[in-house]
Amino acid sequence: MLEPYIVVLGNEKGGTGKSTIAMHLIVSLLRQGARVASLDLDARQGTLSHYVANRQRTKHTFDDLLVPEHSSLLASTNPNRISAEQEDEQNLKKLLENYSSYDYIVIDTPGNDTFLSRLAHSFADTLITPLNDSFIDLDMLIRLEPGEIEKLRPSTYATMVWDQKKEKACRSGSNIDWIVLRNRLNPLYSKNKEEMHRILQMLSKRIGFRLLAGFCDRVIFRELFINGTTLLDLKDTGTSMTLSHVAARKELSDLLSALEIPVQKKIKTQQLANEAARVSA
């Protein structure tokens, strides 16, 4: 049986657009006919859970909206660290097992370092790390010393990802396709933007990630969140298209193509089964 393809949205900093990217990816996969489950491991803040809940409410008005099977998971509160980590591992593995018949599982992780987040990283087939286009956020990946910009040292998050890559290789013999996403970009040229790109290109070769462009910083993403919708739902909800919508949809199309998330065979199998059922009826 084909196992679900797992996509993890992760970094150790909040406010980078993880949940927005997760929901757009989820809806894109659902619209391809895939069975998609989503997990929110940042259950205390619960941004992805709120996004899905908003979508469920909007679905009462626009029935064509597709909604994933969603769960959230709070980290254990057991005061004993070892016991807490054992509970977290059991709970996460149980959820993954519950969704073993799905084509994809998309996991949103908290913007800080937790055992549960590290464990989720080790199950990723694709890891997407959104990064605001600033040197402050770049510090999450590397340590920059003043005047020594060519001497790049991986930071704690980059080291953690490397450790989880080794963990996954030992467990299943497979690799993690790590993607660093320059997100909330300023559409205007700046020297800072050019320097960010140069440094990340250098770093991508050194620590092994693919560098992609995400979304420009747009108000429309905050508006979409309120209704639980995405750029892919504009026609279904009767939303009038503005130039900002058109530009954002182009960014989304380019991103989804560049992610190279493989089409799971179960999608085609399910579609054929559905077609056969309609014909026989």
DSSP assignment string, 176-216: -EEEEEEESB-SS--HHHHHHHHHHHHHHHHHT-EEEE--B
**189 pLDDT above the threshold of 70:** no
State the DSSP code for 174. -
The model's confidence at residue 249, banded by pLDDT at 50, 70 and 90, is very high
Residues 87 and 76: their CA atoms lie apart, in Å, by 6
The model's confidence at residue 265, banded by pLDDT at 50, 70 and 90, is low
The pLDDT > 70 percentage for the chain reads: 88
At 204 the pLDDT is: 83
End-to-end CA separation in angstroms for the chain: 28
At 22 the pLDDT is: 96
At 281 the pLDDT is: 57
Mean pLDDT for the chain overall:
87
The CA-CA-CA angle for residues 127, 183, 147, to 5°, reads 95
At 271 the pLDDT is: 60
CB contact at 8 A, 22 and 11: no
**113 pLDDT above the threshold of 60:** yes
Short-list 113, 114, 116, CA closest to 73: 116
**Which structural domains are found in the chain, ordered by start?**
5-280 (3.40.50.300)
| pTM score over 0.85 | yes
At 85 the pLDDT is: 95
Cβ contacts of 234-241, under 8 Å, gap ≥ 24:
236/62, 236/64, 236/65, 237/58, 237/62, 237/65
Note the pLDDT tens digit of each residue in 147-170: 555 566 778 888 899 999 999 999
The model's confidence at residue 278, banded by pLDDT at 50, 70 and 90, is low
Note the pLDDT tens digit of each residue in 27-67: 999 999 999 999 999 878 899 999 999 999 999 999 999 99
CB count, 10 Å around CB of 160? Answer: 18
At 118 the pLDDT is: 95
The model's confidence at residue 132, banded by pLDDT at 50, 70 and 90, is confident
Short-list 47, 162, 163, CA closest to 110: 47
pLDDT, mean of residues 258-281: 70
At 272 the pLDDT is: 58
CA distances in angstroms from 258 to 21, 161, 193, listed in the order given:
13, 21, 21
At 252 the pLDDT is: 94
At 145 the pLDDT is: 62
Burial of 87 from C-beta contacts in 10 A (0-12 / 13-18 / 19+): middle
Better-predicted residue by pLDDT, 13 or 124? 124
CB contact at 8 A, 11 and 157: yes
Note the pLDDT tens digit of each residue in 175-184: 999 999 988 7
**187 pLDDT above the threshold of 90:** no
Residues 238 and 105: their CA atoms lie apart, in Å, by 29
Choose the weakest-confidence range: 3-12, 89-98, 193-202.
193-202
